[in-house]
Amino acid sequence: MTFCKYPSRLAARSQAAIAVGITEAVYLPLLTADVLADLEQTSATAPGIGGPIPIAPGTLTTTGAQFIPSLTVKWLLLDFGGRDAGREAATQLAFAANVTFNGTHQKLIFDVSNAYFVLTAARVQLKIARQTVQNAELVQAAAKARMGRGIATSIEVAQANQQVAQARFNLTQSQGHERNAYMTLLEAVGVSPTLEIRIADGSNRALPKAVPEDLNRLIATSLQRRPDVQAAFARLQADKNGIAAARAEFMPKVALVGNVNRNIGSLSVEDTRFDQRSTIRVNQPNANLMIGLSFPIYDGGLRDARLQSAMAQVGAAEQEMAQLQNTAAREVVVAYDLLRTSLAGYAAASELTTAAQTTYDAAVDYYKQVLGTITDVSIAQTALLQAKVAKSTAYSDTLVAAASLAFATGTLTNRNAVNRF
């Protein structure tokens, strides 16, 4: 469904394939059929003839009709690489269109993966917010129980009520964030925003164990795999074939030309002086076969201009290729560092969550045993909430970073690509 958002890429892919077929067709002979028809009549005044038997002046009328059907075949035998260069250029451009389409496919996977990971984090945080409400309500109940026994003040109960209200407010915000993340995912997939679909739970997805050790090797292999680099290289090769095609225009062309036709016609002459009419009819087949040589001599500098243009195009393509390689290498390094720091951040957030959970459990225990204060519980609860949110965010950031590295290295071809590192 998401491919419907990129009709131009689909059209370019189809047009490139058609272009290859066109270049293949120039190797075949060209057959044409022609029909010529002619009808002509002329009249002239003929003078009289004197003599023993005089002949009065009259009219001399000539009528001709001709019908010539013909078939002509022309087959280019030799053009010194012009057609070969055109075919190779079209093949390279078709390859570039295909790998560009593959790059679009990887970009779609990347966008959908990012939206999915963000939604997963939003749902985990929504779950945390609900649990926080339950925890706050338990503390609220404990505060009311202590007040009932006369060992708590109304301030403690008010503080517990405040914690419940704050937790419910945070829950409302988390619900809004989860809904926004869901809409973002639907947009990335390319479906209607009113559609309700079930999203698989990805909160237990395994994270990459570590980043690749050899960054230089990773960059080198990425430059060979990335669709945009492959497409740029193919376009460069196509432009180089453009130079070969331009140079072929300076060379002669050898072609085989054949023609078969039939001349069907008649010619009649009518002389009113003698009251006579004579007619000649023709039905004659003809055939010929020739080899022609065409050599360009002067064209006002047009061929030179085309050659210079092709060479300039190659120079621009080489610069584009070098710039694209530098950009790709930089993207790999950035994604590599992002994944490394994200993994470290998740490990730290996990330790923080464990410590915050222990602190919170102890604070609640002490409060129930009248050994702690509601302030201690409030501080511990806030710290635990922040730690859990930080852990879920770090988890999502790590998956996004892994997807970014897979996309930057040209390996994001399926949903399991983020776990290959």
* Mean pLDDT lowest among 45-54, 165-174, 392-401: 45-54
- For residue 333, the domain's CATH number is 1.20.1600.10
For residue 117, which amino acid is it?
A: F
Chain position carrying tokens 């309700």 = 196
pLDDT of 48 reads: 72
pLDDT of 58 reads: 78
Paired residues of 176 in beta bridges: none
pLDDT of 155 reads: 87
Is residue 201 very low, low, confident or very high in pLDDT (cuts 50, 70, 90)? confident
Residue 352 placed within a domain = yes
For residue 12, which amino acid is it?
A: A
Residue numbers of the domain that contains 338 = 79-251+302-419
Closest CA to 346 of 210, 213, 212, 215: 210
Residue 73 placed within a domain = no
More confident residue, 322 or 47: 322
pLDDT of 10 reads: 63
Half-sphere exposure of 354 (CA within 13 A, CB side): 6
Q: Is the pLDDT of residue 179 over 90?
A: yes
Q: Is the pLDDT of residue 355 over 80?
A: yes
Residue 165 placed within a domain = yes
Is residue 291 very low, low, confident or very high in pLDDT (cuts 50, 70, 90)? very high
Any long-range contacts for 95-98 (C-beta under 8 Å, 24+ apart)? Answer: 95/230, 95/231, 95/234, 96/16, 96/230, 96/231, 96/232, 96/234, 96/235, 96/238, 97/12, 97/13, 97/15, 97/16, 97/17, 97/231, 98/13, 98/16
Is residue 220 very low, low, confident or very high in pLDDT (cuts 50, 70, 90)? very high
Residue 289 placed within a domain = no
Tell me the average pLDDT across 5-13: 62
pLDDT of 267 reads: 87
Residue 10 placed within a domain = no
pLDDT of 54 reads: 74
Element (H, E) at 72: strand 58-78
Is residue 293 very low, low, confident or very high in pLDDT (cuts 50, 70, 90)? very high
Structure tokens at 247: 């140079």
Give the C-alpha separation, 324 to 409, whole Å: 13
Structure tokens at 371: 């050994």
Q: Are 143 and 160 in contact (CB under 8 A)?
A: yes
pLDDT of 32 reads: 95
- Count of structural domains within the chain: 1
Residue 239 placed within a domain = yes
Is residue 175 very low, low, confident or very high in pLDDT (cuts 50, 70, 90)? very high
Give the C-alpha separation, 249 to 265, whole Å: 43
- pTM exceeding the 0.85 threshold for the entire prediction: no
Contacts of 10 (CB under 8 A, 6+ apart): 3, 101
- How far lies 106's CA from each of 212, 227, 264, 404, in Å? 21, 9, 66, 11
Percent of the chain with pLDDT over 90: 55
Tell me the average pLDDT across 257-280: 87
Residue 65 placed within a domain = no
More confident residue, 5 or 287: 287
Give the C-alpha separation, 387 to 407, whole Å: 30
pLDDT of 12 reads: 64
Is residue 8 very low, low, confident or very high in pLDDT (cuts 50, 70, 90)? low
Residue 277 placed within a domain = no
pLDDT of 314 reads: 96
pLDDT of 67 reads: 93
* Mean pLDDT lowest among 2-6, 86-90, 299-303, 392-396: 2-6
